[in-house]
């Protein structure tokens, strides 16, 4: 499914086994979730050890070449292999049918995506100016997004992945909304519930309108005070939505609980397990996935397949494992719009997925990884018996200097 790190000296250990003299290779959490300037450093003193143990971390990776070892700890290679096998098992489960072809839906999806970004942008601006959210604009937009994803999710979902640094906040909201609709459909929730989930998803970060831009877009680590201000956006969202007419409890749960974690390490209320509603749990999964895959001023975006693997790994503590499995099933282990490498050493973008053959999607190939040059674009269906090629792993667009926007369905 993906390239496996062959470094046997990188191992995963529980935080309880961390000792002075070890070298942290990867904190195994989001960049915003820790106070250190880097993900890699030596544990030299009790203060560092205390900070790490107080962060809510459950597991991390150590480099045994640069520090002390834990003999029986699994290697990073072993962990990735286990995750890869689990994801491939999920991929073999059938997905819901798509009533409309990609070609029929893509034009409508492009218009809808542009409209969604504009409405989300205007909404945040209004909130910043102290105005009320205009639900008469939000509700029809959400209905149209549901219709599009029900017809063919392969049209809108890859468009929603496209973001730029300056407009991340509202583009992230549109993306989370689209992904939550797809997730809800995969769970076979009823249409009325999906609408409320989608409204909550579109509005989940509205409280960020109360956070200064210099904190939202800071290209470096946040100070403790700045992090507290950033995290306050959840409470701000709840306050804003409680004063918004016709907001349902479902929508409030999505917005108010999307930073809670299954093991109680989230915020703002450190809710645990079933204290978090289904809708809040769904929101936390999708919010983390979209944040991981998005490029920000302070980090590169992670390839979608790698991000899904992280969700699966973290579901041991932070998320409901069955919900994560259902989410991966809903978007596929090679989500539409992701870059993949084929056995022929060609790179291509996943254009469309099959209901029962998620490992064999339709791919537009356009680049030779071996010769490092562009090829005449060719669309191939990996599920056809006549096709001799197959996916061997996922790739990152930026590693090859490829602009993803140029290769999405059109």
Q: Which two tokens stand for residue 108?
A: 């409508």
Whether residues 321 and 348 fall in one domain? no
Please report the DSSP string for 334-371 in residue order: S-TT-EEEETTSEEEEEEE--SS-TTS-EEEEEEETTT
Q: Which of 310, 331, 352 is the last residue of a domain?
A: 331
* Letter string b/e over residues 223-248, b meaning 16 or more CB atoms within 10 A of that residue's CB: eeebeebbebbbebbbebbeebeebb
What value does the mean pLDDT take over residues 318-324?
Answer: 96
Whether residues 235 and 274 fall in one domain? yes
Whether residues 274 and 355 fall in one domain? no
Share of the chain above pLDDT 90, in %: 81
Whether residues 226 and 352 fall in one domain? no
Q: How many domains does the chain have?
A: 3
- How far is 152 from 274, CA to CA, in rounded Å? 32
Whether residues 225 and 319 fall in one domain? yes
Indicate whether 193 pLDDT > 80: yes
Nearest Cα residue to 142 out of 182, 88, 168, 181: 181
- How far is 81 from 27, CA to CA, in rounded Å? 19
29: left (phi over 0), alpha (psi -120 to 50) or beta: beta
What value does the mean pLDDT take over residues 272-276?
Answer: 97
Give the SS3 label for residue 252.
helix
397 domain-assigned:
yes
Whether residues 125 and 274 fall in one domain? yes
Residue range of the domain that includes 49: 10-75
Whether residues 267 and 313 fall in one domain? yes
142-176 residue pLDDT tens: 999 999 999 999 999 999 988 886 688 899 999 99
Give the pLDDT confidence score for residue 6 in this predicted structure.
55
50 domain-assigned:
yes
Quote the pTM value: 0.93
**Residue 266 belongs to domain with CATH number:** 1.10.3210.10
| pLDDT band at 7; cut points 50, 70, 90 | confident
Spatial contact of 319 and 285, defined as CB atoms under 8 Å apart? yes
């Amino acid at each position: 499914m993906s390239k496996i790190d062959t470094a046997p000296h990188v191992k995963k250990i529980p935080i309880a086994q961390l000792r002075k003299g070890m070298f942290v290779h990867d904190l195994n959490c989001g960049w915003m979730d820790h106070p250190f300037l880097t993900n890699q450093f030596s544990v030299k003193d009790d203060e560092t050890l205390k900070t790490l143990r107080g962060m809510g971390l459950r597991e991390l990776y150590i480099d045994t070449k640069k520090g002390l070892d834990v003999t029986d700890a699994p290697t990073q290679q072993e962990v990735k292999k286990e995750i890869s096998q689990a994801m491939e098992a999920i991929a073999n489960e059938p997905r819901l049918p798509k009533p409309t072809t990609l070609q029929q839906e893509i034009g409508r999806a492009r218009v809808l995506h542009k409209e969604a970004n504009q409405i989300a942008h205007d909404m945040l601006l209004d909130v910043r100016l102290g105005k009320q959210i205009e639900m008469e604009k939000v509700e029809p937009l959400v209905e149209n997004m549901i219709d599009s994803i029900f017809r063919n999710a392969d049209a809108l979902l890859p468009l929603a992945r496209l973001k730029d640094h300056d407009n991340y906040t509202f583009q992230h909201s549109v993306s989370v909304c689209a992904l939550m609709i797809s997730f809800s459909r995969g769970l076979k929730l009823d249409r009325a519930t999906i609408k409320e989930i989608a409204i909550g998803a579109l509005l989940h970060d509205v409280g960020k309108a109360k956070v200064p831009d210099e904190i939202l877009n800071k290209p470096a680590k946040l100070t403790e005070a700045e992090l507290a201000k950033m995290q306050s956006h959840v409470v701000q969202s709840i306050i804003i939505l409680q004063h918004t007419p016709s907001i349902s409890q479902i929508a409030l749960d999505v917005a108010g609980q999307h930073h809670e974690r299954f093991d109680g390490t989230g915020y703002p209320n450190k809710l645990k397990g079933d204290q978090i509603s289904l809708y809040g749990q769904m929101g936390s999964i999708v919010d983390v996935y979209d944040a991981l895959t998005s490029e920000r001023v302070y980090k590169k975006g992670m390839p979608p397949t790698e991000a899904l693997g992280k969700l699966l790994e973290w579901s041991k503590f932070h998320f409901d494992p069955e919900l994560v499995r259902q989410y991966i099933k809903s978007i596929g282990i090679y989500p539409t719009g992701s870059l993949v490498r084929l056995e022929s050493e060609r790179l291509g973008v996943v254009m469309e997925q099959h209901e029962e053959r998620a490992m064999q999607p339709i791919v537009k190939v356009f680049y030779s990884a071996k010769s490092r040059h562009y090829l005449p674009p060719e669309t191939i269906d990996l599920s056809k018996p006549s096709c001799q090629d197959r996916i061997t792993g996922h790739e990152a667009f930026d590693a090859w200097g490829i602009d993803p926007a140029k290769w999405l369905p059109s």
